[in-house]
Structure 1
Amino acid sequence: MSGTIRSHIKQGLTVDIVLKKDQATGRLTRGIVKDILTNSANHPHGIKVRLQDGQVGRVKAVITNSEGEA
């Protein structure tokens, strides 16, 4: 699933995000969504979320059960 549509993102989902400091390299960080920070229905660069460990970034991919979601 795409990370650009807010309705696809729910608390508790496992996602890959790009942190602000990693935007130049595109390095992904995997975590579980704690809060959804973007208010609009979609965003071309990804919905901004806060992970359970406190990191904030834009969702690049939603991890499905077949990809290893717990």
Structure 2
Amino acid sequence: MDGKNRNDIKIGSDVSIVLKQDQRSGKLTEGVVQNILTKSAFHPHGIKVRLESGEVGRVKKVL
């Protein structure tokens, strides 16, 4: 799953996200979803989430 649909992401899911500062390089950060920040059902760049580590980014892959 590519993280563009809100229904694919649940609190507690393991995901790979791209942080704002890593968007150019495409470096992914893995973690567990604490909050889902995007309200819409779909976002073309990925649903924005906050990880349990406190990092915020857009989901690129649901693990």
Please give the TM-score of this superposition, normalised by the length of structure 1: 0.89
Aligned to 1:45: 45
Aligned to 2:33: 33
Aligned to 1:55: 55
Please give the TM-score of this superposition, normalised by the length of structure 2: 0.99
Q: Using the alignment, how far apart are the partners of 2:2 and 2:61 within structure 1?
A: 6
Larger Rg: 1
Deviation of 1:51 after TM superposition, in Å, equals: 0.0
**Amino acid of the structure 1 residue aligned with 2:7:** S
Percentage identity across aligned positions? Answer: 62
Deviation of 1:2 after TM superposition, in Å, equals: 1.7
**Amino acid of the structure 2 residue aligned with 1:10:** K
Q: Secondary structure at the match of 2:21?
A: helix
Q: Using the alignment, how far apart are the partners of 2:11 and 2:27 within structure 1?
A: 22
1:11-58 Cα shifts (integer Å, max 9, x gaps): 000000000000000000000000000000000000000000100000
Unaligned runs of 5+ in 1: 64-70
Aligned to 2:15: 15
Q: Which runs of 4+ in 1 moved over 4 A?
A: none
Aligned residues between the structures: 63
Q: Taking CA–CA contacts closer than 8 Å with sequence separation of 6 or more, which of the two structures ends up with the larger relative contact order? A: 2
